[in-house]
Copies of this chain bind each other. A is one copy, B any other.
Amino acid sequence: MVVFVNQFSVHGNAEDFERAFQASSEFMRRQPGFLRHSLVRSTLLPERYVNVAEWEDAASFRRATEHPDFESHVRELHELASSEPHLCVPVLQRGALRGDAEGG
Protein backbone atom coordinates (compact mmCIF):
# COMPACT_ATOMS: atom_id res chain seq x y z
CA MET A 1 0.00 0.00 0.00
CA VAL A 2 1.06 3.59 -0.65
CA VAL A 3 -0.45 6.69 0.95
CA PHE A 4 -0.85 9.90 -1.02
CA VAL A 5 -0.86 12.90 1.33
CA ASN A 6 -1.79 16.26 -0.15
CA GLN A 7 -1.91 19.40 1.98
CA PHE A 8 -3.99 22.19 0.44
CA SER A 9 -3.95 25.88 1.23
CA VAL A 10 -7.21 27.29 -0.15
CA HIS A 11 -7.12 30.86 -1.45
CA GLY A 12 -10.49 30.62 -3.19
CA ASN A 13 -13.93 30.02 -1.72
CA ALA A 14 -13.94 27.04 0.66
CA GLU A 15 -17.31 25.73 -0.55
CA ASP A 16 -16.11 25.86 -4.15
CA PHE A 17 -12.97 24.00 -3.14
CA GLU A 18 -14.94 21.29 -1.35
CA ARG A 19 -17.24 20.92 -4.37
CA ALA A 20 -14.27 20.63 -6.75
CA PHE A 21 -12.57 18.20 -4.40
CA GLN A 22 -15.67 16.04 -4.24
CA ALA A 23 -15.75 15.81 -8.05
CA SER A 24 -12.08 14.80 -7.98
CA SER A 25 -12.86 12.22 -5.28
CA GLU A 26 -15.67 10.72 -7.40
CA PHE A 27 -13.20 10.35 -10.26
CA MET A 28 -10.45 8.85 -8.08
CA ARG A 29 -12.62 6.26 -6.36
CA ARG A 30 -13.44 4.72 -9.73
CA GLN A 31 -9.78 4.15 -10.61
CA PRO A 32 -8.24 0.67 -10.22
CA GLY A 33 -6.12 0.39 -7.08
CA PHE A 34 -7.81 3.22 -5.17
CA LEU A 35 -8.72 2.03 -1.68
CA ARG A 36 -10.08 5.01 0.32
CA HIS A 37 -9.41 8.63 1.13
CA SER A 38 -10.18 11.12 3.84
CA LEU A 39 -10.23 14.90 3.39
CA VAL A 40 -9.86 16.79 6.67
CA ARG A 41 -9.83 20.49 7.50
CA SER A 42 -7.76 22.28 10.11
CA THR A 43 -9.73 23.72 13.02
CA LEU A 44 -7.27 26.58 13.62
CA LEU A 45 -6.39 27.40 9.99
CA PRO A 46 -9.67 26.84 8.09
CA GLU A 47 -7.96 27.45 4.72
CA ARG A 48 -5.82 24.36 5.35
CA TYR A 49 -7.09 20.97 4.18
CA VAL A 50 -5.27 17.65 4.06
CA ASN A 51 -6.25 14.73 1.88
CA VAL A 52 -4.95 11.28 2.81
CA ALA A 53 -5.60 8.65 0.14
CA GLU A 54 -4.66 4.98 0.27
CA TRP A 55 -3.81 3.13 -2.93
CA GLU A 56 -2.88 -0.49 -3.50
CA ASP A 57 0.48 0.47 -4.98
CA ALA A 58 2.40 3.32 -6.61
CA ALA A 59 1.70 1.99 -10.13
CA SER A 60 -2.08 2.26 -9.62
CA PHE A 61 -1.71 5.79 -8.31
CA ARG A 62 0.49 6.84 -11.25
CA ARG A 63 -1.93 5.26 -13.71
CA ALA A 64 -4.80 7.31 -12.25
CA THR A 65 -2.77 10.52 -12.63
CA GLU A 66 -2.18 9.62 -16.29
CA HIS A 67 -5.89 9.15 -17.01
CA PRO A 68 -7.08 11.76 -19.56
CA ASP A 69 -9.76 13.08 -17.15
CA PHE A 70 -7.29 13.66 -14.30
CA GLU A 71 -5.84 16.91 -15.58
CA SER A 72 -9.16 18.81 -15.52
CA HIS A 73 -9.66 17.94 -11.83
CA VAL A 74 -6.15 19.11 -10.98
CA ARG A 75 -6.66 22.33 -12.90
CA GLU A 76 -9.92 23.11 -11.13
CA LEU A 77 -8.41 22.46 -7.68
CA HIS A 78 -5.35 24.56 -8.46
CA GLU A 79 -7.52 27.53 -9.35
CA LEU A 80 -8.75 27.45 -5.74
CA ALA A 81 -5.77 26.18 -3.75
CA SER A 82 -2.06 25.55 -3.72
CA SER A 83 -1.01 22.07 -2.70
CA GLU A 84 1.92 20.14 -1.33
CA PRO A 85 1.63 16.50 -2.45
CA HIS A 86 3.67 13.59 -1.12
CA LEU A 87 3.47 9.99 -2.21
CA CYS A 88 4.34 8.08 0.95
CA VAL A 89 4.88 4.60 2.31
CA PRO A 90 3.55 3.43 5.70
CA VAL A 91 6.12 3.31 8.50
CA LEU A 92 4.06 2.63 11.63
CA GLN A 93 0.35 1.98 12.08
CA ARG A 94 -1.13 1.37 15.51
CA GLY A 95 -4.54 1.12 17.09
CA ALA A 96 -5.62 1.95 20.62
CA LEU A 97 -4.37 -0.14 23.51
CA ARG A 98 -6.86 -0.23 26.35
CA GLY A 99 -6.86 -1.43 29.94
CA ASP A 100 -4.20 -3.92 31.06
CA ALA A 101 -3.50 -5.40 27.62
CA GLU A 102 0.12 -5.11 26.57
CA GLY A 103 1.90 -5.83 23.32
CA GLY A 104 0.36 -6.02 19.85
Contacts and interface: CB of A to CB of B under 8 A. Distances in A.
Nearest to A48: B86
Contact of A93 (B7, B38, B41, B49): B38
Most buried by B among A43, A49, A90, A96: A96
Nearest to A50: B5
A59 interface: no
Nearest to A14: B91
Instruction: Give the interface residue-count category, chain A.
Output: 35 or more
A67 interface: no
Contact of A52 (B42, B48, B52): B52
Interface in A52-104: 52, 58, 86-98
Contact of A58 (B21, B38, B43): B43
Given A86-B45, A86-B48, A86-B50, A92 B58 contact: no
B34 A96 contact: yes
